[in-house]
Structure 1
Amino acid sequence: MRGLRNQLSLLNQQVSGRLTIKNLDLDCLELVAMHGPLSPSALARRAGVHPATLTGILDRLQRGGWITRDRPADGDPDTDRRTVTVRALPDRNHELFGLYAGMSAAMDRICADYSPAELELLAGFLRRMTEAGHEATEHLTSG
């Protein structure tokens, strides 16, 4: 697992370098794309970063055309006008997909060697490992 984590980190470093964004910015963009739209505070908790740090990340991602910060419509009495929701913009997805195309093709080749039942088992394992990582991150973030 450590080897896989390290190699994926190196891949993401190359991707973020090609996109001229920081590694942490790419991580936050992926979190918004996977779990969004999110409030900045929810994203900061999920990413394990201080809200002030996240403000800089969101500024860079918004300037780069990766995300938008949406405010509630005027006249809605049930929402705080200061509330912001962060949403990923799909306009630049082709750039991301293109940079990950080599890894995606390799994963397709690897998965072709497994039966549907084996793939289901592997997917369950990966979901459980992802959740364990999320819980460990939450523990370190809150403690």
Structure 2
Amino acid sequence: MSSVAQRATGRNRRRLTVAVKDALRELNIQLSLLNRRSGGRVELKDIDLTCLDLINRHGPLTPTALARRTGLHPATMTGILDRLQKGGWIVRERDSEATDRRAVTLRAVRERNAELYQVFSGMNTRMDELCGHYTAAELEIIADFLRRTCAAGRQSTEELGGG
């Protein structure tokens, strides 16, 4: 390949990389807006919804583990957990085997998830339709890209948090 062709290929790759990053930024904005509106439907703040999603996906968790995952101060986390518990979204269970008798585990109230599924049903339907336009091989590539993007985001978040 000639040096002119190599430069053109390099410019095209940079342009495409910028396009992917721009699309991810727009996706982040749209998902944030969706979460804000969806959370409003079930009377949850954005951060409450994020914490509930983490408990649903990775729980049961201790408040300390959840605070570490979110990077939130423990006092802030206490307020969030109080709201989630008052709303019936989570329960705090005493850990009878812990040496610290104050130790609790956070568990999502799975029966409440039906409300979240209903609120997000429009997005889920649209995602099903969107995925229907791709082959299985393309979906594997997209899923791999998104998993790697999540890993890059997690690593960058840890770097910013000093951990």
- The TM-score, its normalising length taken from structure 1, stands at 0.93
Match of residue 55, structure 1, among 78, 83, 93: 78
Measure the CA separation in 1 of the matches of 2:108 and 2:151: 23
Higher-RCO chain (CA-CA 8 Å, sequence separation at least 6): 1
Q: CA deviation at 1:31?
A: 0.7
Measure the CA separation in 1 of the matches of 2:90 and 2:161: 24
**For residues 32-111 of structure 1, what are the structure 2 equivalents within 5 Å?**
32-73=55-96, 76=97, 79-111=99-131
Residue in structure 2 matched with residue 123 of structure 1 by the alignment: 143
The two structures, once aligned, show a CA RMSD in angstroms of 1.2
The higher radius of gyration belongs to: 2
- Counterpart check, 1:25 vs 2:48: yes
Measure the CA separation in 1 of the matches of 2:104 and 2:28: 32
The aligned length equals 140
Q: CA deviation at 1:79?
A: 3.7
| Cα deviation 1:94-120 (Å, max 9, x = unaligned) | 110001000000000010111111111
| Cα deviation 1:2-32 (Å, max 9, x = unaligned) | 0000000000000111111211001100011
- Counterpart check, 1:2 vs 2:25: yes
| Cα deviation 1:24-47 (Å, max 9, x = unaligned) | 001100011111111111100111
| Structure 1: unaligned runs, 5 residues or longer | none
Aligned-partner SS, 2:92: strand
Note if contact 1:72-1:81 (Cα within 8 Å) is conserved in structure 2. yes
**Letter of the structure 2 residue corresponding to residue 11 of structure 1:** L
Residue in structure 1 matched with residue 162 of structure 2 by the alignment: 142
Aligned-partner SS, 1:122: helix
- The TM-score, its normalising length taken from structure 2, stands at 0.82
Measure the CA separation in 1 of the matches of 2:39 and 2:159: 27
